[in-house]
Structure 1
Amino acid sequence: MKRSIVMASALFVLSLTASQVFAQTTQDTTKKTTTTTTTTTTTTEGASDVVGALASNADYSTALSLVKAAKLDSVLKVGGPYTIFAPNNIAFSNLPAGKLDSLGKDPAKLATLLKGHVVTGKYSKADIIKALTAGKGKFTLTTLDGQPLTLSLAGSKLQLTNAAGSSAQVTLFDLIGANGVVNGLNGILMPKAK
């Protein structure tokens, strides 16, 4: 009789333990499924190309329309990687009266201006920080039109200066496209007058 009571108690404890283990296994499986789902949705790719990345933010709609007017969109959609340092809409609205219209009417001049804002290579915020660290606060890239573009720190802001001495600060980082990245500027890097 004592043996039966001990056996019954042991079976009871065993079944209780098995139930708890089963419950924990079920909870762990649910957690793993949730984690996998979350990871999948957060690692989605950016736009199909840098022109699409530029189009993804309404604050850069003027830059996008000018890229299309200069017919640079077909160039920037293939190849790369590219980094576009795009002036925001406010920067374009600060141009002298009539300047934007005159640029729109001269695709060659417009293309020159815009190529001065594009470099070959993908320079996300993390890449720029690495390059600034290696260059002790300064480094130079070459734009699509073959001009130097110097990146440096101005206080706590990243500043770009072109060969003509025109400068602007980066105000937005990392609009990601499949073939590059767009970083936003608060000004326009005007080329040398010819």
Structure 2
Amino acid sequence: MRTLNYLSKLSLVAFLFLGLNAFAQDSSKTLTANISSASDLSEFYGLLETTKTVNLLNDGNSYTIFAPVNDAFESLIQEKYVNMPSGENKLRAITTYHILEGSWTLEKIQNKIKEKGGRTMVKTVEGTPLTFSDNEEGNLIVVDHLGRANVVISSENQSSNGLIYKTKSILLPAR
């Protein structure tokens, strides 16, 4: 019985490890190379290409990206009173609203949250800040300008020029 319990726990740990590392990126590749190779980020990569934000991400600087998974685009369509804007300028604003300058590790974000008493704001490349906090389960939460809470569903994934986090929702800046 004790062996079975041990094997069950070992299997669970292995499953969680494999699941969390399913998005393991090649840290020698750029942010855009890693995003383009992640099948569940193809919609976001398409947005990066359409808005020519890939050029920004390949400018030699370091960035942190909160990349919405493909399901986030479908979920936005389902939301009441919220639509995906059209037009190149608005789409570029949305895309750059998902990007912070520099490498913001999970530890760095959580330290800022603690320093600021439970939440902190960080300016995006778009110019409007995102608000970061933790929920009761210890998940990192990103709140956009419209007050929509967004759960970060993967830990930082290292690229040669920054970090990528996957999120459940699309972040929307002020219109």
SS of match in other structure, 1:139? strand
1:94-105 to 2 correspondence within 5 Å? 94-96=75-77, 103=86
Show the counterpart of 2:126.
145
C-alpha distance in structure 1 between counterparts of 2:42 and 2:58, whole Å: 17
Unaligned segments of structure 2, at least 5 residues: 1-24
Can you list the C-alpha shifts for 1:126-161, whole angstroms capped at 9, x where unaligned? 332333333333221100111111100122221111
* TM-score for the superposition, normalised by structure 2: 0.74
Quick check: 1:92 aligned with 2:64?
no
C-alpha distance in structure 2 between counterparts of 1:187 and 1:73, whole Å: 20
SS of match in other structure, 2:111? helix
Match of 1:51 among 28, 32, 35: 32
C-alpha distance in structure 2 between counterparts of 1:107 and 1:47, whole Å: 31
Show the counterpart of 1:190.
172
C-alpha distance in structure 2 between counterparts of 1:159 and 1:126, whole Å: 14
Give the structure with higher Rg (CA).
Answer: 1
Quick check: 1:79 aligned with 2:60?
yes
C-alpha distance in structure 1 between counterparts of 2:104 and 2:117, whole Å: 17
What is the deviation of 1:45? 5.8
Show the counterpart of 2:45.
64
Which one-letter code corresponds to 1:190 in the other structure? L
Unaligned segments of structure 1, at least 5 residues: 1-43
Moved more, 112-121 or 129-138: 129-138
SS of match in other structure, 1:65? helix
Which one-letter code corresponds to 1:177 in the other structure? S
* TM-score for the superposition, normalised by structure 1: 0.68
Match of 1:109 among 83, 87, 90: 90
Tell me if structure 2 keeps the 8 A contact 1:147–1:162: no
Structure with the higher fraction of residues in helix conformation: 1
C-alpha distance in structure 2 between counterparts of 1:137 and 1:79, whole Å: 33
Tell me if structure 2 keeps the 8 A contact 1:167–1:188: no
Task: Give the length in aligned residue pairs.
Answer: 146
Can you list the C-alpha shifts for 1:54-101, whole angstroms capped at 9, x where unaligned? 22321111101110111000111123210010111110111227x56x
C-alpha distance in structure 1 between counterparts of 2:35 and 2:112, whole Å: 23
C-alpha distance in structure 2 between counterparts of 1:175 and 1:54, whole Å: 10
What is the deviation of 1:47? 4.1
